Amino acid sequence: METIKALSDENTNRLPIAIEINKKLLIGKRAANIFIKNYAKVIQVSISTERLNRAMEERQSLEYSPTAPEELMVSNFTIDELEEALQCLNLKKSPGKD
């Protein structure tokens, strides 16, 4: 966050960030704009359509299903699981319907 503030000439306790391009010293917002343009070129990653489709299919298969399996709804739980669930409760919340 400090780097963004420094690049944008916002008040910071550090010296302004400077970039030298073609023997010219750029400071502040000009330096920030050059930095952003070069960063955009560097971070561009090409992902094949096949790989993207596989990732989307995998994500969809892992998404939460609103209908829980019947075995989970009727199975017993341990004391440890109960204690862990109780520790997650908000003690300042009033009892009753939400």
Each residue of 7-47: pLDDT tens digit?
Answer: 555 666 777 778 888 888 888 888 888 888 888 888 888 88
Quick check: 3 pLDDT over 70? no
Domain count, the chain: 1
- E-assigned strand segments in the chain: 18-21, 24-27
Domain carrying residue 37: 1-67
78 domain residue, yes or no: no
pLDDT digits (tens, 9 = 90+) for 58-86: 888 776 666 656 666 777 888 998 999 88
Cα distances (angstroms) measured from residue 47 to each of 28, 44, 53, 55: 34, 10, 10, 11
Number of Cβ within a 10 Å radius of residue 26: 17
Residue 25 lies in a domain: yes
With bands split at pLDDT 50, 70 and 90, how would you rate the model's confidence at 6? low
Q: Is residue 40 part of a domain?
A: yes
| Per-residue confidence (pLDDT) for residue 20, from 0 to 100 | 86
R_g (Cα) of the chain, nearest Å: 27
Burial class (CB in 10 A: 0-12, 13-18, 19+), 10: exposed
